[in-house]
A and B are shown apart, each in its own frame.
Chain A
Amino acid sequence: MKKSSIIGIVVIAIAIAVIISTYSNTSTYGSFNDAKATKSELHVVGQLNKTKELFYDATKDANYFSFYMKDNKGEECKVIYSGTKPQDFERSEQIVLTGKMKGNEFHASKILTKCPSKYTDEKLKVTEVSARKSANL
């Protein structure tokens, strides 16, 4: 067999492996109900419930932040994030959480918030925070 064909086969094999590994590594966007059903981490999109308490008191614990979020299906759940409260969190109009359920609380490892810019509604500002920012290799 020619070497170029061997290389061709190897390349195709690796390409397929890459696609499969990506496919198996991608997670899904779900609701809190989906989160209760699974043990793996997933993304939940929703809005902050501004009527309920946002708890963050750096003097008690600088790494504890909790709030209530309604997912896109309207279900509400308490969310706990071990880190500081992201800037302008109250103004967020959409939140994307990454994390999993523990008991009745959703433990977020990452929060992505979208805030309407102060002056124009057409432009959105996106910020992201991550509880474990230090890359774990």
Chain B
Amino acid sequence: MDIIFKGEHLLPGQLGQFFVVLAFGAALFSFICYFFATQETAPKSDNSWLRLGRIGYWLNTVAIVGMGVCLFYILYNHYFEYHYAWSYTSRELPVYYLISGFWNGQEGGFLLWMFWEAVLGNILIWRAKSWEKPVMTTLALSQVVLGTMILGLQIGSAHIGSSPFMLLRNSGIEGPIFQNANYLDFIKDGKGMNPSLQNYWMIIHPPTLFLGSASLVVPFAFAVAGLWKRRYKEWVQPAIPYALFSCMVLGTGVIMGSFWAYESLNFGGFWAWDPVENASIFPWLILVAAVHVLIVYKNTGHSYFTATFLTLVAFVLVWYSSFLARSGVLGESSVHAFTDLGLFWQLVIGILIFLAITAYLLISRFKEMPITKKDEETYSREFWMFVGAIFLGLSCFHLIVVTSVPVWNLMFGTKFAPPTDPVKHYNVIQASFAVVIALLSGFTQFLKYKKTDVTRFFITTLIYLVFAALITGLAVYATGFYKLHFVFIIVMLCSIYTIVSNGKILADSFKGKYKLAGSAVAHIGFGLLLVGALISAGTQKVVSENLTGEQYSVEFAKDENPKENILLYKNEPLKMGEYMVTFKGDTIEGASHFFNIDYQRIKEGKVTESFTLRPNVIQAQGGMSSTPDTKHYLFHDLYTHITMTNVISTAPQAEEASHGEEGDDKNYDAPVAHEIAIGDTMTYRDGIIVLKGLNKNVKLQNIPLTDKDIAVGAQLEVITHGKTYQSEPVYMIKGRAVFDFGKKIEDAGLKLRFTKIIPGQTVADGKVEITVYQQPESKKKFIVMKAIEFPYINFLWAGTIIMIVGFFMSILRRNKEVKTV
């Protein structure tokens, strides 16, 4: 018997699911129509296939927007009967994070990808003119393949795609709760968003990255169209601006991701060579190489095959990296790979479709390609651009080989593990490629297109190389970079060489050779990016060195593992490098738990600088995530994050309060009783306590005192770690009973009781007994934190921005050259 569930909002889901199917159907229809429109040979056709193809694509666009609206409606209204809303959002999530909840799951990611592809398709329908039919065929095919990913069709035990509109009760989560017609009454809130994604960068990073990946389909489609329609030479020119656009946006997206990692994840850096990070730059590297070879071909007619090959492969790699990130194959080697949604084989088929198209066209058209037999001029710019592109390709090849280790294991049944120190492995090998690439992007700029005056070229190259060497020498000495592996020093030299030689080209371009300005700016940016990455990663320093930690064994101490975490008790300052740091306290704002840490730079007894950093810990989905806070200076950053704390506990805290007085004492070390007179001082572990005086006029709340009763307060002053606290525990005799009212000083971790009055010979002689309870070290509030200094990291970000500007200038230039027919 079917249960009729109460309180569900099925309409938006059904509408959404309708749009999902519509998007898929319309894309398929559009693909078929465009295909026939392209194949049509009749000289005077009525263009009906073309018109149908356009209608199909527009319908697809409308459906995608419809899906987006439905999904957002569900998230915005917190309809937790939908698996997507329940999994990734919760009620207290602010609206701007609901937007990032939209692409939190893989389905949303596909939706975003389809959306951008729809936008690009519409631009192409408007602008591509004679290229529209074949180019749009490829785009429509890509929309079809993407459409299957979110179809959510169940055929027997297999399912095709995973729909964002799946209901929670159909999602495969078993539970007796779903036997209830009113199960929704029990689901008050969603699981909430993964804490590390609750960051403003997650609102703009994924759309940028997806726009970049999606836009790679355009140069691919042009290459396919050129080969398919045998318009071998013509496709290159219109494809170049689109390829540059993809490079620019994808590059921006990747760097935004690394900025997000740096600002809000606790990797302790901007790049960790994680497989998913690597996968995101495969297509970028290959596409940058492709752009260079495309320009080579356009100028000289050489290297046609390489240009076409790279353009096609770049898009296949988009699918491959999507497979790596989404199929779960990286499970054992990556921190942030998605888990398998059951799309493994579907993603494989996706790769194979585009790989097959690439292979078929390259092989079947090989003999007809305009490949030159003539050898290239050695002293031409094109020749070295080509070499540089090859090395970009090789660097990508290395990344693919290593990152895909789990894939090789799966394919060949082997059991290799990734390198034990992957960071070192990647750094050294990729640095070697960077040497060649940076060197080439420097001296190639001095060569002329086609042919150069050799002696003049060698003289300029050498002059700038010497100049770069001088700067490098200074930089290496000043930053302490010379302690590193020599490869990195050579990369540094080559990067600085790139900057100065392209600086010369840029200066020339102001004198009229403005055409080269874009490329010069992009290369300067690239060089600066390398310099920033090298110095900040190479000379980053852990500031929070722990010099106090107890040694557990000689073996352990000998181990060169630096002790990178320090322990800070609340309100107890500690010297850390040049700073005096104090953990001042914590505040809770929503799901974030901020820790206020005071930094004071002290020189010769004077505080020269002081600031507060507020790293936070976010609790959600049953886990905690630590978000760093960074103090930015012009030339370095100071980065701090919490690695451990006893302030937040995952265990329920209700118990502690209910123990009462008896239980409370357990939170303290064994009490120590002191007999002291007024003005006397007693010492305890963290400071001193002075008895200032006795107050005979104590008023106690709720306890009326008669004349016979005695109530005395001991005025105590506690001085600990440069701070002074006042406290007044009370001793009372009421009737025949003796009471005492202890006072706590939470900040100092103290409880003080006035336990006895010892009468003396005279009044002044009298003593009192004060019992001091102090919290054991482990009960005091503490944090364990790590602080890292990243020198010159701003070069990295500045380099990126400059590179993007360069790409943009090149797009403008190349776009002017295009005369689409």
Q: Are B416 and A131 in contact (CB under 8 A)?
A: no
Q: How far apart are the CA atoms of A18 and B225 in the complex, in Å?
A: 34
Q: With A63-B564, A64-B549, A96-B332 in contact, is A27–B419 under 8 Å at CB?
A: yes
Q: Report A48-78 CB contacts with B as 1/0, cut-off 8 Å.
A: 0000000001111111100000000000000
B784 nearest in chain A by CB position: A62
Q: How far apart are the CA atoms of A88 and B418 in the complex, in Å?
A: 25
Contacts of A105 in B (CB 8 A): 555
Contacts of B429 in A (CB 8 A): 18, 21
Is A9 in contact with chain B by the CB < 8 A criterion?
no
**The residue from B398, B401, B537, B567 contacting A58, defined by CB atoms under 8 A apart:** B567
Q: With A107-B559, A133-B267 in contact, is A127–B335 under 8 Å at CB?
A: yes
Contacts of A131 in B (CB 8 A): 561
Contacts of B556 in A (CB 8 A): 64, 80, 82
Contacts of B561 in A (CB 8 A): 63, 82, 109, 131-132
In this complex, the member of B173, B777, B784 whose beta carbon has the largest number of chain A beta carbons within 10 angstroms is B784
Q: With A59-B782, A102-B555 in contact, is A7–B537 under 8 Å at CB?
A: no
Interface positions, chain A 105-137, Cβ under 8 Å from B, are 105, 107, 109, 112, 114-115, 117-120, 122-128, 131-137
Q: How far apart are the CA atoms of A88 and B777 in the complex, in Å?
A: 23
Is B624 in contact with chain A by the CB < 8 A criterion?
yes
Q: How far apart are the CA atoms of A52 and B626 in the complex, in Å?
A: 28
Q: With A3-B375, A21-B429, A63-B564 in contact, is A58–B784 under 8 Å at CB?
A: yes
How big is chain A's contact interface, by range?
35 or more
Q: How far apart are the CA atoms of A15 and B397 in the complex, in Å?
A: 8
Q: How far apart are the CA atoms of A98 and B566 in the complex, in Å?
A: 24
Q: Are A62 and B565 in contact (CB under 8 A)?
A: yes
Q: Are B546 and A62 in contact (CB under 8 A)?
A: yes
Q: How far apart are the CA atoms of A90 and B778 in the complex, in Å?
A: 20
Q: Are B383 and A83 in contact (CB under 8 A)?
A: no
Q: Are A28 and B559 in contact (CB under 8 A)?
A: no
Q: How far apart are the CA atoms of A136 and B488 in the complex, in Å?
A: 12
Q: How far apart are the CA atoms of A112 and B275 in the complex, in Å?
A: 14
Is B744 in contact with chain A by the CB < 8 A criterion?
no
**The residue from B332, B484, B540, B782 contacting A112, defined by CB atoms under 8 A apart:** B332
Q: Are B397 and A58 in contact (CB under 8 A)?
A: no
Contacts of A11 in B (CB 8 A): 390, 394
Contacts of B336 in A (CB 8 A): 126
Contacts of B624 in A (CB 8 A): 87-88
**The residue from A87, A109, A123 contacting B339, defined by CB atoms under 8 A apart:** A123
Output the least CB separation between B643 and chain A (Å). Answer: 4
B331 nearest in chain A by CB position: A126
In this complex, the member of A42, A63, A112, A127 whose beta carbon has the largest number of chain B beta carbons within 10 angstroms is A63
**The residue from B390, B424, B559, B778 contacting A57, defined by CB atoms under 8 A apart:** B778
Q: With A26-B416, A29-B415 in contact, is A122–B172 under 8 Å at CB?
A: yes
Output the least CB separation between B293 and chain A (Å). Answer: 12
Is B760 in contact with chain A by the CB < 8 A criterion?
no
Q: How far apart are the CA atoms of A19 and B408 in the complex, in Å?
A: 12
Contacts of B337 in A (CB 8 A): 126
**The residue from B335, B419, B541 contacting A26, defined by CB atoms under 8 A apart:** B419
Q: Are B334 and A22 in contact (CB under 8 A)?
A: no
Q: How far apart are the CA atoms of A119 and B390 in the complex, in Å?
A: 49
Output the least CB separation between A67 and chain B (Å). Answer: 14
Q: How far apart are the CA atoms of A22 and B415 in the complex, in Å?
A: 14
Contacts of A40 in B (CB 8 A): 420
Contacts of B625 in A (CB 8 A): 87
A96 nearest in chain B by CB position: B332
Q: With A18-B429, A132-B562 in contact, is A4–B777 under 8 Å at CB?
A: no
Q: Are B394 and A7 in contact (CB under 8 A)?
A: no
Interface positions, chain B 465-495, Cβ under 8 Å from A, are 484-485, 488
Total A-B contacts with CB atoms under 8 angstroms apart? 173
Q: Are B267 and A43 in contact (CB under 8 A)?
A: no
Is B622 in contact with chain A by the CB < 8 A criterion?
yes
Q: Are A59 and B425 in contact (CB under 8 A)?
A: no
Is B621 in contact with chain A by the CB < 8 A criterion?
yes
Q: Are A84 and B644 in contact (CB under 8 A)?
A: yes
Q: With A3-B376, A15-B394, A133-B269 in contact, is A125–B782 under 8 Å at CB?
A: no
Is B191 in contact with chain A by the CB < 8 A criterion?
yes
Is B427 in contact with chain A by the CB < 8 A criterion?
yes
Q: With A18-B401, A26-B417, A28-B417 in contact, is A62–B549 under 8 Å at CB?
A: yes
Contacts of B566 in A (CB 8 A): 62
Q: Are B565 and A83 in contact (CB under 8 A)?
A: yes
**The residue from B397, B415, B416, B555 contacting A103, defined by CB atoms under 8 A apart:** B555
Q: Are A3 and B378 in contact (CB under 8 A)?
A: yes
Q: How far apart are the CA atoms of A75 and B657 in the complex, in Å?
A: 43
Q: How far apart are the CA atoms of A14 and B394 in the complex, in Å?
A: 8
Q: With A7-B390, A63-B549, A63-B564 in contact, is A22–B423 under 8 Å at CB?
A: no
Contacts of B646 in A (CB 8 A): 58
Q: How far apart are the CA atoms of A133 and B398 in the complex, in Å?
A: 23
Interface positions, chain B 329-344, Cβ under 8 Å from A, are 331-332, 334-337, 339
Q: How far apart are the CA atoms of A29 and B401 in the complex, in Å?
A: 18
Question: 30 interchain pairs (CB within 8 A)?
Answer: A3-B376, A18-B397, A21-B429, A26-B416, A26-B419, A27-B417, A27-B419, A28-B417, A41-B420, A62-B644, A63-B546, A63-B549, A63-B563, A80-B556, A82-B559, A83-B643, A84-B784, A112-B332, A118-B191, A119-B191, A126-B336, A131-B561, A133-B269, A133-B564, A134-B268, A134-B540, A135-B537, A135-B540, A137-B484, A137-B488
Q: Which 6 A-B pairs have the closest CB atoms?
A: A41-B420, A118-B622, A133-B268, A61-B549, A84-B643, A84-B644
Beyond A43-B420, A61-B550, 7 additional pairs, beta carbon < 8 A:
A3-B376, A21-B429, A63-B564, A126-B334, A134-B542, A135-B269, A137-B484
